[in-house]
Structure 1
Amino acid sequence: MADELMIGGTPWWRNVNMAKIEEAQRLSQSQKSVVMPDPPPVSSVGTPIALILSPAAPTSRPTSAATAPVAPLSFVPQRRTEMPADDTMEGGERLEIDMSNPALPAWYKDIGLDKVKKAPRIPPGIEEHLNKITSGIKKCNEAAAKNMPPSATELKKINDGIHNAFFLDLSALAIRQKGLLHNDRGLPQVFNSDKIDYPWYIKEDAAELYTKWWQKDTNPDLFRGIKLGRTKNAKIGRESAADKLDPKYPRKKGDFHGDGHLRNGQWWPTQLCAVRDGAHSATVGGICGRTGGGAFSCVMSGGSYPNIDKGTEVWYYGTESDDPSRPSDSTQHMIESCRLQTPVRVLRAFKMTTEGPNDYRPKEGMRYDGLYKVANYEVKNVAKQVHLFHLVREPDQGPIRNSGPGIRPTPEELEALAKAKIEKKFLA
Structure 2
Amino acid sequence: MSATMDDAMQPPKIPRTQTLREMVEERLALKAEQRRLENVALEAAAEEENTQGLTTDDATIPTPAKLVPHEVPVRSEHQASEIPRRRNTEAAARETDDALLLTTHAPKELQKNQHLPPISQPSRSQSNLKRTAAESLSVPNQEVIPRKNPPPNFAGLKSAKKRKRTDDANSPSTDPIGGPIALHESSPSSVNAPKKASRSKIKATYSSYEIIDLSKRLPEWYQDLKTVKQRLARGDLELLRGVKDNIQRCIENKSKVTLRQCFSELRVRISDMQFYVFLTPGASGGAGLAPYLIKESKILEDGGLPVIFNRSDSGFFPFDIRADAEAIWTRWMRGDFDPSLLRGVDPAHGVLQKSGRKRTAYKLTPGYQHKISANVFGANGLFNGQWWPSRLCALRDGAHGEVEAGICGSADSGAFAVVVSQGGYADQDNGDTLEYCGTEGKNGVVSKGTQFLQHTHRKGEVLRVLRAPKKNSVYAPKSGVRYDGLYRIVDSKTLDPINVMIRFTLIRVEGQDPIRCSGETSRPTSKEEYEMSKIRSYLQ
Question: Alignment partner for residue 190 of structure 1, among 308, 311, 316?
Answer: 308
Contact 2:431 2:475 survives alignment (8 Å): yes
Taking the aligned partners of 1:299 and 1:104, their CA distance within structure 2 comes to 34
The CA deviation string for residues 164-216 of structure 1, in whole angstroms up to 9 with x for no partner, is 0101122121111111111x212111111114600010000001101111111
Match of 1:122 in 2: 233
Aligned residues: 316
- Amino-acid identity (%): 34
Return 5+ residue gaps in structure 1 as ranges: 1-97
Question: Alignment partner for residue 312 of structure 1, among 406, 429, 432?
Answer: 432
Match of 2:74 in 1: none
Contact 1:259 1:370 survives alignment (8 Å): yes
Q: How far does residue 161 in structure 1 lie from its aligned partner after superposition? A: 1.4
Match of 1:245 in 2: 364
Match of 2:166 in 1: none
Question: Alignment partner for residue 104 of structure 1, among 214, 218, 227?
Answer: 218
Is residue 375 of structure 1 aligned with residue 490 of structure 2? yes
Contact 1:280 1:298 survives alignment (8 Å): yes
Q: Using a 3 Å threshold, how does the CA distance of structure 1 residues 164 and 110 change in structure 2: closer, same or farther?
A: same
Taking the aligned partners of 2:360 and 2:421, their CA distance within structure 1 comes to 17
Is residue 162 of structure 1 aligned with residue 270 of structure 2? yes
Taking the aligned partners of 2:363 and 2:529, their CA distance within structure 1 comes to 22
Question: Alignment partner for residue 259 of structure 1, among 357, 361, 379?
Answer: 379
Contact 1:129 1:161 survives alignment (8 Å): no
Match of 1:423 in 2: 538
Task: Name the aligned partner's letter for residue 296 of structure 2.
Answer: Q
Contact 1:137 1:185 survives alignment (8 Å): no
Scaled by the length of structure 2, the TM-score of the pair is: 0.55
SS at match of 1:139: helix
Q: Using a 3 Å threshold, how does the CA distance of structure 1 residues 128 and 362 change in structure 2: closer, same or farther?
A: farther
Contact 1:129 1:164 survives alignment (8 Å): no
Contact 1:231 1:240 survives alignment (8 Å): yes
Question: Alignment partner for residue 250 of structure 2, among 137, 140, 153?
Answer: 140
Task: Name the aligned partner's letter for residue 138 of structure 1.
Answer: Q
Match of 1:65 in 2: none
Match of 2:134 in 1: none
Q: Using a 3 Å threshold, how does the CA distance of structure 1 residues 205 and 316 change in structure 2: closer, same or farther?
A: same
Taking the aligned partners of 1:313 and 1:158, their CA distance within structure 2 comes to 32
> What value does the CA root-mean-square deviation take over the aligned residues?
2.4
Is residue 339 of structure 1 aligned with residue 458 of structure 2? yes
Q: How far does residue 331 in structure 1 lie from its aligned partner after superposition? A: 1.1
Task: Name the aligned partner's letter for residue 159 of structure 1.
Answer: R
Match of 2:511 in 1: 396
Taking the aligned partners of 1:155 and 1:119, their CA distance within structure 2 comes to 35
Taking the aligned partners of 1:189 and 1:108, their CA distance within structure 2 comes to 19
Q: How far does residue 220 in structure 1 lie from its aligned partner after superposition? A: 1.1
Q: How far does residue 99 in structure 1 lie from its aligned partner after superposition? A: 6.7
Taking the aligned partners of 2:496 and 2:234, their CA distance within structure 1 comes to 61
Match of 2:342 in 1: 223
Q: How far does residue 123 in structure 1 lie from its aligned partner after superposition? A: 4.9
Q: Using a 3 Å threshold, how does the CA distance of structure 1 residues 423 and 259 change in structure 2: closer, same or farther?
A: same
Question: Alignment partner for residue 526 of structure 2, among 408, 411, 416?
Answer: 411
SS at match of 2:415: strand
Q: How far does residue 424 in structure 1 lie from its aligned partner after superposition? A: 2.2
Q: How far does residue 238 in structure 1 lie from its aligned partner after superposition? A: 3.5
Task: Name the aligned partner's letter for residue 312 of structure 2.
Answer: D
Taking the aligned partners of 1:380 and 1:311, their CA distance within structure 2 comes to 22
Question: Alignment partner for residue 152 of structure 1, among 260, 265, 277?
Answer: 260
Scaled by the length of structure 1, the TM-score of the pair is: 0.69
Q: How far does residue 335 in structure 1 lie from its aligned partner after superposition? A: 0.9
Taking the aligned partners of 2:217 and 2:257, their CA distance within structure 1 comes to 29
Taking the aligned partners of 1:178 and 1:346, their CA distance within structure 2 comes to 36
Taking the aligned partners of 1:260 and 1:99, their CA distance within structure 2 comes to 17
Quick check: 209-218 or 150-159, which moved more?
150-159
Q: Which has the higher contact order (CA 8 A, sep 6+)?
A: 1
Task: Name the aligned partner's letter for residue 240 of structure 2.
Answer: L
Taking the aligned partners of 1:147 and 1:420, their CA distance within structure 2 comes to 41
Is residue 300 of structure 1 aligned with residue 411 of structure 2? no
Q: How far does residue 105 in structure 1 lie from its aligned partner after superposition? A: 1.0
Q: Using a 3 Å threshold, how does the CA distance of structure 1 residues 132 and 236 change in structure 2: closer, same or farther?
A: farther
Quick check: 258-267 or 129-138, which moved more?
129-138
Taking the aligned partners of 1:236 and 1:269, their CA distance within structure 2 comes to 27
Looking at CA atoms only, which structure, 1 or 2, has the larger radius of gyration? 2
Is residue 285 of structure 1 aligned with residue 285 of structure 2? no
Q: Using a 3 Å threshold, how does the CA distance of structure 1 residues 175 and 149 change in structure 2: closer, same or farther?
A: farther
